[in-house]
Structure 1
Amino acid sequence: MIKITVPATSANLGIGYDTLGMAVSLYAHFTFDHADELVITGCPEEFQNEDNLVYQSFTQALGTWGVDPFPIALDIQTEIPVARGLGSSSTCVVAGIMGAAALTRHTVTREELVAMATAIEGHPDNVAPALLGAAVCSFTPAGELPRCLRYEVSDRLTFVTIIPPYAVHTSGARKVVPQEVPLSTAVWQMGRIAGLTRGLETGDTNLIAAANDDRLQEPYRRELIPDYDAIRRTCLEGGAKTLWISGSGSTLMAVTDDTIVAKFLQVRLREEFPSCETHILTCDNAGAQIEYL
């Protein structure tokens, strides 16, 4: 029996549309074992079958290695809500591939895992930090495997995470983003991506705030989150330096380097937005982990 733990992720980080992602300290736990028939527990009944994304990823990985699918006992215990912009699907994909490798004693590197997970998920911005930990900038050269640049995030930084009680699906969120932008917008983004990643490494919240001024996707996606303006105002008035939409939303993530500010802000958010779930998170610099039970 094996247990795989995968962190949640926050993609885009405001300015890094489809390129940046960061692992955070909210986790999904997956337990795998051999079985006589497929048994899936711990998730809603509608997902306790062969269409489960973890099992689908498990069988796709086996197929890559020329191994026939076999039944397993799979238990899923997750803290990560679905369709809230925290990489819930990526945790399933990563766990499925790692579970397949572990149960067949197939040795794979993290780089190979990223490539396989990207092939299933369709893009590396969530799966890369889920596997590698920290903040990751990913891109895929034509005809090549994904390239991942990893940035250790300062432990001074705290991410106050606000999860509204409604979903924003990625497919819908992509439709509102313009497919073409002026050259000036592209130039605006490029320097700020460098500034944001340096700020995350050094813990410089003033630099992070200055860099986090996106013109590609947040101005459009914020309209899909009814509480965006009110939550942003509360966070900035409460001492956070900046705020971004996590993935395609609806989760919002505020940044501070003061744990006391984070605690007071969490109390205020719970009072003003009682229907929202709030967490005080840090960056997970370890990435997905495997444990033999």
Structure 2
Amino acid sequence: MFKVLVPATTANLGPGFDSLGMALTKYSTYECELNDNIDIQIEGIEKEKLNVENNLVVNSMNKLFDYVGKYPTGYTLKINNGIPMARGLGSSASAIVGGLIVANELVGNPLGKEELLNLATEIEGHPDNVAPALLGELILSTKTSDGKVIYRSIKPFEDLRCVVFIPEYEVSTKDSREVLPEYISMEDTVHNSSHLGLLIMGFLTGDKELIGITMDDRIHEPYRKVLIKKFDEFKKAALDAGAFAFSLSGSGSTIIAYCSESESNMVCEAMQNLANKSNIAGVASVLEPCVNGPIYERGD
């Protein structure tokens, strides 16, 4: 019996559209052991939305089995979903990475992290969420013209805290893509590329002021925020309470404030108070960046 905890992720962080992601200390759990038959059990939040017949974890496991050409006779898999779906917290990335790690373990761990990342990206389509889910930390990644994933990791500075407000309402990937413009101007392109470069420098040096100035997007966030209830009000409340930066988490509906540990509780309270006052169902909480990636535990 073994257990794998795979972290949630937040992607984009403002100008890092489809290229920047960070792992967070919120997890889904995948517990597995070899068996004569296949037995799949699903628990956790929103378990009613998950099914056994077309399950992303199981599909990812089968992808790895096919890739390596080895198949277990059977297994018992217990999925405990801890990451809400369609909220911009990388629930699908966690499922994909969890499935691949579990499958790799079942057939003797023939694949290293680089191969697992390439497989995960093939399933997900792009690496911005699967890379931090698999590797931890803050990851800048892309795919080359021949489909190879390249990335670099940044260890988040110790004082960084992420206050997330996770509303009960969802934002579908389809809706979040449909609101994006078909074309963007040269001015907005230059704005995003320059801001992303300096944002990375801010995270490398722990320069919170620089992060706050450069976490400013013109490619996706101005269009997607119309799908988020009181986005601008949440941003103001968080910044007024001491956050140094604010963004959508992925494509939403979760929003995220970046702050120091000393301000995190005040920022969390400000965001929750605004939600309560505005009758927006959801929960604000303080998370830390997940530095080590998935947690592996072996049982008896």
Amino acid at match of 1:152: K
Pick the aligned partner of 2:92 from 89, 92, 97: 89
Distance 1:63 1:211 in 2: 43
Q: Which moved more, 1:32-41 or 1:188-197?
A: 32-41
Distance 1:213 1:248 in 2: 15
For structure 1, which runs of at least 5 residues remain unmatched after alignment?
none
Q: Which moved more, 1:136-145 or 1:32-41?
A: 32-41
Amino acid at match of 1:41: I
Matches within 5 A, 1:129-208: 129-208=132-211
Distance 1:132 1:149 in 2: 10
Shift of 1:46: 5.6
1:264 aligned residue? 266
Distance 1:33 1:46 in 2: 24
1:22 aligned residue? 22
Shift of 1:33: 1.4
Compared with structure 1, are the counterparts of its residues 165 and 45 closer, same or farther at alpha carbon in structure 2 (3 Å cutoff)?
closer
Determine if the alignment matches structure 1 residue 226 to structure 2 residue 229.
yes
Determine if the alignment matches structure 1 residue 100 to structure 2 residue 106.
no
Count matched residues: 292
Distance 1:284 1:8 in 2: 9
1:273 aligned residue? 275
Shift of 1:289: 2.8
Q: TM-score, normalised by structure 1?
A: 0.95
Q: Percent identity at matched positions?
A: 35
Distance 1:154 1:172 in 2: 34
For structure 2, which runs of at least 5 residues remain unmatched after alignment?
none
Q: TM-score, normalised by structure 2?
A: 0.93
Distance 2:236 2:49 in 1: 38
Task: Give the secondary structure class of the aligned counterpart of 2:52.
Answer: coil
Contact 2:12 2:249 in 1 (8 A): yes
Matches within 5 A, 1:26-65: 26-35=26-35, 36-43=37-44, 44-45=47-48, 47-65=50-68
Contact 2:32 2:102 in 1 (8 A): yes
2:83 aligned residue? 80
1:282 aligned residue? 288
Determine if the alignment matches structure 1 residue 4 to structure 2 residue 4.
yes
Shift of 1:269: 2.4
Contact 2:242 2:266 in 1 (8 A): no
Contact 1:38 1:49 in 2 (8 A): no
Contact 1:50 1:56 in 2 (8 A): no
The Cα RMSD (Å) is 1.5
Distance 1:68 1:45 in 2: 29
Distance 1:182 1:170 in 2: 24
Amino acid at match of 1:95: G
Task: Give the secondary structure class of the aligned counterpart of 2:23.
Answer: strand
Pick the aligned partner of 1:214 from 212, 217, 224: 217
